Chain A
């Protein structure tokens, strides 16, 4: 009965819906979390323009608040010269032009940035001055003189008020009544009942017919409407009686009834969609991504807005008629004041800051002429809050860029002088993830004979993977790729009978556990289960809270003892002549040709084409934590928000096959017969390293493999120790073993909102030879992508790498950026009141908006900056790649990442800015040198500057 008219483009509704799809949070059900640019719809604009207009649209902050920048300035995180450089960039030639009170423009701007001149709490401010506790009150006479001078005029031009678009804001200003408080609870319950993917026992009846139809039918059954919009119930009931109902028509009717002028309709609808961004966004996301829907539910954003507007209209009319206000848009808006005078307090602060900067005496301040004052107000109008934030932001990034590039330049000579071992003992391949930087450094510190590489963590094998106990295959590759192959994990023949038995046990246990969850909600089930399970639950809760690590370890030991997991293998190989297609029509496993392509591709990408070690360890990564709805956000981004273990295992298996080796050899990469690839999984929460298929290691390698295992054990403890220093509740100076136990306890604790800090430390991406960064302490801040420019004359490899790494790295960096600068609006706030709803996401409390983005606990340490993408390639190569890869070009030219070229031969640095590369001359600094990383970071909880670690630069003697 619902019909959708195909919208014409000039239709404001169609335009608003198209626009809304871009501005609303684009986050699917939270079970699989993909990092993306929160303002992806603005990515075609230059960064500053985009964040400013995007943030204004959704009512958020585009940058860190000024107070935080000032605090960063106070602790020298930003230096004065960084501010000056940023100002020169913004003001151009005007920087040195004369400004107010004899200052230059730049110094006047700087004064307004460094001094707090914005008043957020006028009453509190006045109180602090009156009580003498404000720093301004120290020289009270000066402040009084300033205020007296301001009072004599001329006054700053009044700030134009931004008039609200929606009736709700207008009514809120005029009557202090909030119609959203009437509409939202109703809407949230209906939406949750409609979209639920498996938490509620009863869902919205008839929901498969669409939101509008189901809601209309619900109210047609005689249900009353909410107090405050009761009439909407009969509106909906009337709709149910009609043959066809179009969401578009309803929206138009409501806008007609509220007399919203045609030219404001797009704006109005957009603002309406953004009033409950999480739920609107979920409708929009699922409308565009059918694969993320559960059950036969078809969400449509227009239907959601139609239902919303039906309630909203009645709520508006009710308030308007009760207060004697017009409900017509234009008439209501005319009642609002157009501008507000500037608070003399704020004007006074500006004058004081400028007078201080110009070193005027109190008497001189009192005697300022009107022209000087006008010049001050002019500057104040130009240096808006957002502008000053923009300058601060550039300075904040500039300082870090300077520090990093200087360190890289200073490290270069020492790094390239190192003569690598003729044959390494092991080569370890990691994901490019910046969280792996610490364990890679730890491995390299353990011996000159260990080398590490970084490659996107799906290891070139894009697969739909179905693990032994997964019900459906899931894509294990970057989200932009659709896998062509399926791979299944199956039990080995010897364990088949045990597998069958275990599977039956497992199914029964899972059914039992589900029955408990569901049954305890029923009347009889709840009573019965209370008696049976209550005391057990008490014991379990005590164990899980008092000794989480031991309790879980005990459980795992018992399970491994009595119901061990059967040994498995992957369906990796597909005979050329068979189709072996899965039920979904994809080939299962890789043919010889395909396998060879994958292996050669990865090895070429990372520049590992000769001098293979006896062991090549391939480690994917994932993260396990409890009570963490955002668990998936810690998994591997290159595996589409899943774990990379299967990909690593598969890659190792392909590379170990003799026929693949032979084919690879034909392509010019000679892998010696005594080289063994071993796949594994690194858990970034508890730093566990699990290796697969160890049965494939021949006896000849046993002794050497033991050494490798010991090395990995030491490295993961060292990594745990480096991570533990950032956790305030872990004492500094833990031993590696204690640190490991600490992170294990975190990952197994139900009451731990910070099992790990995720990508919180991301800031840099280095694409290039590891030699450039080996032995440089980068504090887990750098994505490290192995790339050998000497093997890549045509830039084909570079192109592949940047096309994959650019968007993934920028996505992570920007998701963290936005969730940090305005955690309440772009992020999802603190985890503590989060309530999982409908398996879709989390909301605060009992009926609020779906909270999207990252929680406070994940971003609290983050320094929001654009990714500093440093590439071991010439500017010419980079420009050539950008000309072929549109998305990379957009990220670079619109400055969503900061691209730096390091000349492969000379090491010259060039920074991309305003459309071109500009040479950067590094300052000659002496890098701090330590023997081991822990000496550098061990005593601090903060970020540490780069340092040289001697142990990692040692040569085989």
Chain B
């Protein structure tokens, strides 16, 4: 059936492109030409966009009868009692994210064709981009939590690898590691929620999540809480916001796509997906509203103090993401979907233009911000507010204190391992 084909192609083509490029690099030691890599990846992205647009058309009823709801591909995996259904769910939110994701990825790919030209990591960049595109389509159309999780992880790993793109310097590696660690920690929530839903409801299909609402209240709260944790990590909500400014270490187009466009909004999409569950968990709803609004206020004040173009933009984005989280938790899902889509479009463009700041300042005659004449002496309150925003509440230091023992253990194990094999000592990062 057409819907099966188009759905499958939307995700499979970019994945195939990533595999083709990756395999060629593995098999053939010579570096493939930029032209070839770009042709492979761009073709897959264009076709993926066509496929996802056609899904949208079928959903809207432009091709045949309007198609809503689940589309089953059978089982992905069956292990005794446990099975993962390969199932898609076509609805407004899915179509919105699928189309938006495919469009923005293609846009950024075109942008990066010239931007990344001659860059030693050209092949890596486009391979990761294809992987990301596949991840977005998987998440968008996933009909079950497991399928979604697969896409979720593809997005996470490509995000971390993009942050560490300039791996010859230490700072990007540190930042990449931090994002990765945060993702891992929060994804544990996703994983546990998934298993719990499976155990308690019998299936992880999103369409069956309403049934979960009939579970005992505390169980629903715990499951929703764990999903919220996953969303908070991916969307850099407080207290996990520390990795976001560090993510600016990557090349500008990937920053635009991930932290202006798609990846940062992924947590929100998850919340939209599990809205029925959330609606049955009032405590988690309150927490989500609180987290969203706190993050929004926090990020706005940080954005005010940031002197760098990308850092200010990252926090401005984060503020809106916090706001949208609150909207979802309050039940305004349609508003949230529209807000999310429009916001992603705006930020991607702003990110892509971020290096133009100085040109714009010249063009507009003077700086975008003219500092008012200072008052005689700043009040302690203003100082404290400024300092807290400047140092971002020292979130990172606090988190460092929390994860330092873990890192120490990991280093000790690594050193032990290296001693066993007689390998040289690792540089500390």
Task: Pick out which of these stretches binds chain B: A828-836, A914-922, A946-954.
Answer: A828-836
Q: Scan A204-218; emit 1 where CB is below 8 A from any B CB, else 0.
A: 111110000000011
Residue of B nearest to A217 (CB): B383
Cβ B319 vs Cβ A523 within 8 A? yes
Return A631 CB to nearest CB of chain B, in Å.
6
The residues in B between 82 and 110 inclusive whose CB is less than 8 angstroms from any CB of A are 103, 107, 110
Q: Which of B175, B307, B343 has the most CB of A within 10 A?
A: B307
Q: How far is the CB of B102 from chain A (nearest CB, A)?
A: 13
Give the residue of A186, A470, A523, A533 whose beta carbon is less than 8 angstroms from that of B297. Answer: A523
Chain B interface residue count: which class?
35 or more
Residues of A within 8 A of B362 (CB): 31
Is A521 a contact of B300 with CB atoms below 8 Å?
yes
Bound state CA distance, A729 and B382, in angstroms? 52
Residues of B within 8 A of A784 (CB): none
Which residues of chain B (301-330) have a CB below 8 Å from chain A? 303-313, 315-316, 319-320, 323
Write out the residue numbers on chain A whose beta carbons fall within 8 Å of the beta carbon of B305.
Answer: 193, 200-202
CB-based contact A833/B166 at 8 Å: yes
A541 interface hit (Cβ, 8 Å): yes
Chain A 812-855 near chain B by CB (<8 Å), digits 1 or 0: 00000000000000000011111111110001111110000000
B118 proximity list for chain A (CB < 8 A):
728, 857, 860
Contact with A along B385-415 (1 / 0, CB 8 A): 0111111001001001100000000000000
In the complex, A533→B346 CA distance in Å?
7
Question: Min CB distance, A12 to chain B, in Å?
Answer: 32
Q: Is B350 an interface residue (CB 8 A)?
A: yes
Q: Of all chain B residues, which has the CB nearest A838?
A: B307
Closest to B117 in A: A729
Distance A200 CA – B359 CA, assembled complex (angstroms): 17
Is A658 at the interface (CB under 8 A from chain B)?
no
Q: Is the pair A200, B387 in contact by a Cβ cutoff of 8 Å?
A: no
Q: For B115, list chain A residues within 8 Å (CB).
A: 751-753, 832
The answer to whether residues A471 and B356 also contact, given A200-B304, A531-B342 and a CB cut-off of 8 A, is no
Q: Give per-residue flags for B319-363: 1 if the beta carbon is below 8 A from chain A beta carbons, else 0.
A: 110010000000000000011011111101110111111111110
Residues from chain B with Cβ under 8 Å of A848 in the complex:
171
Give the one of B114, B312, B353, B377 with max A CB within 10 A.
Answer: B114
B303 touches A521 (CB 8 A): yes
Residues on A with C-beta less than 8 A from B251 are 832-833
A224 CB within 8 Å of chain B: yes
Q: Does A537 contact B (CB under 8 A)?
A: yes
Q: Which of A17-25, A361-369, A512-520 lies at the interface with chain B?
A: A512-520
Flag the segment in B131-139, B202-210, B241-249 that touches A: B241-249
Interface string of A850-892 (1 = CB under 8 A from B): 0000000100100000000000000000000000000000000
Which residues of B lie under 8 Å from residue A217 when comparing CB positions? 378, 383
Q: Mark A897-923, 1 if CB is under 8 A from B, else 0.
A: 000000000000000000000000000
Check if B236 is an interface residue, CB within 8 A of chain A: no
Interface residues on A, range: 35 or more
Q: A520-B346, A521-B304, A530-B346 are in contact. Are A218 and B383 (CB under 8 A)?
A: yes
A49 at interface, CB cutoff 8 A: no
Residues of B within 8 Å of A628, CB to CB, are: 355-356, 359
Interfacial chain A residues near B71, Cβ < 8 Å: none
Find chain A residues with CB under 8 A from B169 CB: 844
A843–B308 touching, CB < 8 Å: yes
Could you say which residues of chain A place their CB within 8 Å of the CB of B382? 205
Closest beta carbon of chain A to B33's beta carbon, Å: 11
A372 within 8 A of B: no
Give A527 to B310 CA distance when docked, in angstroms: 19
Known: A205-B382, A751-B114, A832-B119. A198 touches B319 (CB 8 A): no
Q: Please tell me if the beta carbons of A221 and B387 are within 8 angstroms of each other in the complex.
A: yes
Given contacts A226-B394, A839-B358, A845-B175, contact A203 B371 (CB under 8 A): yes
A751 in contact with B343 (CB, 8 Å)? no
A-B contact pairs, 21 of them (CB 8 A): A31-B358, A186-B391, A189-B391, A193-B305, A199-B309, A206-B378, A219-B387, A222-B380, A224-B394, A294-B367, A295-B371, A521-B313, A522-B316, A526-B320, A530-B339, A537-B348, A627-B353, A832-B119, A833-B248, A837-B307, A839-B367
Given A296-B374, A832-B116; 20 other pairs, CB 8 A cutoff: A192-B307, A199-B307, A199-B368, A201-B305, A204-B386, A520-B316, A521-B303, A521-B313, A523-B300, A523-B319, A527-B323, A537-B346, A544-B352, A628-B356, A750-B352, A753-B114, A754-B117, A833-B165, A836-B308, A844-B166
| 5 A-B pairs with least C-beta separation | A198-B367, A534-B342, A205-B378, A227-B397, A845-B249
A residues near B (Cβ < 8 Å) are: 30-31, 123, 176-177, 186, 189-190, 192-193, 196-208, 217-224, 226-227, 294-296, 469-471, 510, 513-514, 517-518, 520-523, 526-527, 529-531, 533-535, 537-538, 540-542, 544-546, 626-629, 631, 728-729, 749-754, 830-839, 843-848, 857, 860
